């Protein structure tokens, strides 16, 4: 949607809400400003408002995704899997194999230094 396609008044950040066919005092002021070179300001304002709305929509989608992940973990736990270990596996799948091997080697050195070799066989 182009900035000029937005139907906004001074009291609303939502397109189409509060519109009164240009009869509100806020719209009269806008029209008066447009005559004295304020159009670039209005375009920037509309563009900024669109960015805000897009960002807010992404926040809503992020919350919905987080809720879906919580439901999935609850289902996973209900079927006998350990959510904590599952999350570790997911994190490992995102990482490079060489990085994982290096971490495992350092972890083994630390275990040996602390006398925890017994965990090596598990």
Residues 72, 92 within the same domain: no
Does 75 lie in the same domain as 90? Answer: no
Q: Within 10 Å of residue 103's Cβ, how many Cβ atoms?
A: 12
Given this model, what pLDDT does residue 40 score?
Answer: 77
Q: Which domain holds residue 93?
A: 82-122
Taking the whole predicted model, whether its pTM rises above 0.75 is answered as: no
Residues of the chain with pLDDT under 70: 1-38, 118-122
User: Does residue 89 share a domain with residue 63?
Assistant: no
The pLDDT of residue 117 is 76
pLDDT at 12: 45
> How much of the chain, in percent, has pLDDT values that exceed 90?
58
pLDDT value at residue 113: 93
Same domain for 64 and 116, yes or no, is no
DSSP 79-114: TT--HHHHHHHHHHHHS-HHHHHHHHHHHHHHHHHT
99 and 44 in a single domain? The answer is: no
pLDDT score for 120 = 54
Q: Are residues 61 and 102 in the same domain?
A: no
Considering the domain architecture, whether residues 18 and 63 belong to the same structural domain is answered as yes
Is the same domain home to 10 and 34? yes
């Amino acid at each position: 949607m182009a900035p000029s396609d937005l139907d906004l008044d001074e009291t609303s950040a939502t397109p189409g809400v509060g519109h009164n066919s240009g009869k509100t005092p806020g719209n009269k002021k806008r029209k008066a400003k447009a005559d004295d070179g304020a159009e670039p300001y209005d375009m920037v304002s509309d563009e900024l408002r669109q960015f805000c709305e897009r960002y807010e929509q992404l926040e809503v989608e992020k919350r919905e995704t987080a809720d879906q992940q919580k439901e999935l973990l609850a289902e996973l736990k209900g079927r006998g899997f350990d959510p904590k270990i599952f999350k570790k596996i997911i994190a490992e799948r995102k990482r490079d194999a060489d990085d994982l091997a290096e971490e495992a080697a350092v972890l083994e050195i630390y275990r040996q230094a602390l006398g925890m070799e017994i965990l090596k066989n598990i």
